[in-house]
């Protein structure tokens, strides 16, 4: 199990300046098309969003251009209810369709789907992704990839400071992820 510490913001303006900056100062690793399908269990509350649309656990199948993974995340929050990090267990799977069938046979249902075109950059201890999220817009996700220690909030504050130093105008950290944004915008199963 790995800790995932990241910040997700919407790029309001300055996308071209940000790309120019990253191209100059960071290594472009790859550009990938990603399809994430999130599932929930209608009989248990742990994989369902709460009344405000927040997820505390999630089950996902990812298709990254034909490479498939299944991921379970458990989110952790500070004393003010702010998301700080997730414990993430992930494994490769051979088939998106077969894995989806297994989850459905166990009673899980599709919660939402997120389609993204991601441009990944590596910069110091960060993986930076400029994300074109279908139906939602352009986002910046910065994930910490360095050695993890117990103070997750300190790392998160460092990421937030880094984001503020970039040559673009962004929203505040969403304090959640793209599945919550999809649910807020389009409801369960993207409808």
pLDDT in tens, 34-43: 999 999 999 9
Q: What is the DSSP letter of 65?
A: T
Distance, in Å, from the CA atom of 6 to the CA atom of 92, rounded to the nearest integer, reads 22
Lookup: tokens for 138? 């352009």
SS3 167: coil
Is 117's pLDDT higher than 80?
Answer: yes
Is 1's pLDDT higher than 80?
Answer: no
Lookup: tokens for 44? 């248990």
Are 99 and 68 in contact, with CB atoms under 8 Å apart? yes
The CATH number given to 2-190 is 2.40.320.10
pTM of the model: 0.92
Are 179 and 134 in contact, with CB atoms under 8 Å apart? no
pLDDT of residue 136: 96
Kindly report the average pLDDT of the chain as a whole number.
94
Work out the pLDDT band at 150, boundaries 50, 70, 90.
Answer: confident
pLDDT of residue 149: 73
Q: Which of 20, 5, 18, 36 is nearest to 133 (CA)?
A: 36
Is 106's pLDDT higher than 80?
Answer: yes
Q: Which residue in the block uniquely carries the two structure tokens 């352009």?
A: 138
If one compares 1 and 53, the residue with the highest pLDDT of the two is 53
Contacts of 128 (CB under 8 A, 6+ apart): 22, 26, 120, 121, 122, 140, 141, 142
pLDDT of residue 188: 83
SS3 24: helix
User: In the chain, what are the domain boundaries?
Assistant: 2-190
Are 186 and 93 in contact, with CB atoms under 8 Å apart? no
- CA trace torsion 137, 24, 124, 92 (10° rounding): 50
Q: What percentage of the chain exceeds 70 in pLDDT?
A: 99
Other beta carbons less than 10 A from residue 10's beta carbon: 17
pLDDT of residue 190: 60
Q: Which of 145, 105, 109 is nearest to 127 (CA)?
A: 145
If one compares 149 and 154, the residue with the highest pLDDT of the two is 154
């Amino acid at each position: 199990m790995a800790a995932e510490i990241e910040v997700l913001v919407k790029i309001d303006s300055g996308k071209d300046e940000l790309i120019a900056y990253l191209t100059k100062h960071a290594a472009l690793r790859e550009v990938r098309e990603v399809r994430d399908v999130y599932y929930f269990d209608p009989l248990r509350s742990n994989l369902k969003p709460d009344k405000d649309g927040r997820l505390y656990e999630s089950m996902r199948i990812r298709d990254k251009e034909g490479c498939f993974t299944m991921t379970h995340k458990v989110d952790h929050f500070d004393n003010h209810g702010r998301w700080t990090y997730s414990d993430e267990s992930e494994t490769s799977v051979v088939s998106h369709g077969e894995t989806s069938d297994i989850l459905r046979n166990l009673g899980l249902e599709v919660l939402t789907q997120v389609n993204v075109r991601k441009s990944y950059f590596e910069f110091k201890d960060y993986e930076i992704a400029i994300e074109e999220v279908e139906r939602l817009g352009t986002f910046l996700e910065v994930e910490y990839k360095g050695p993890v220690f117990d103070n997750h909030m300190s790392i998160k504050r460092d990421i937030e400071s880094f984001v503020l130093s970039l040559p673009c105008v962004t929203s505040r950290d969403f304090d959640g992820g793209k599945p919550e944004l999809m649910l807020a915008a389009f409801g369960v199963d993207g409808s």
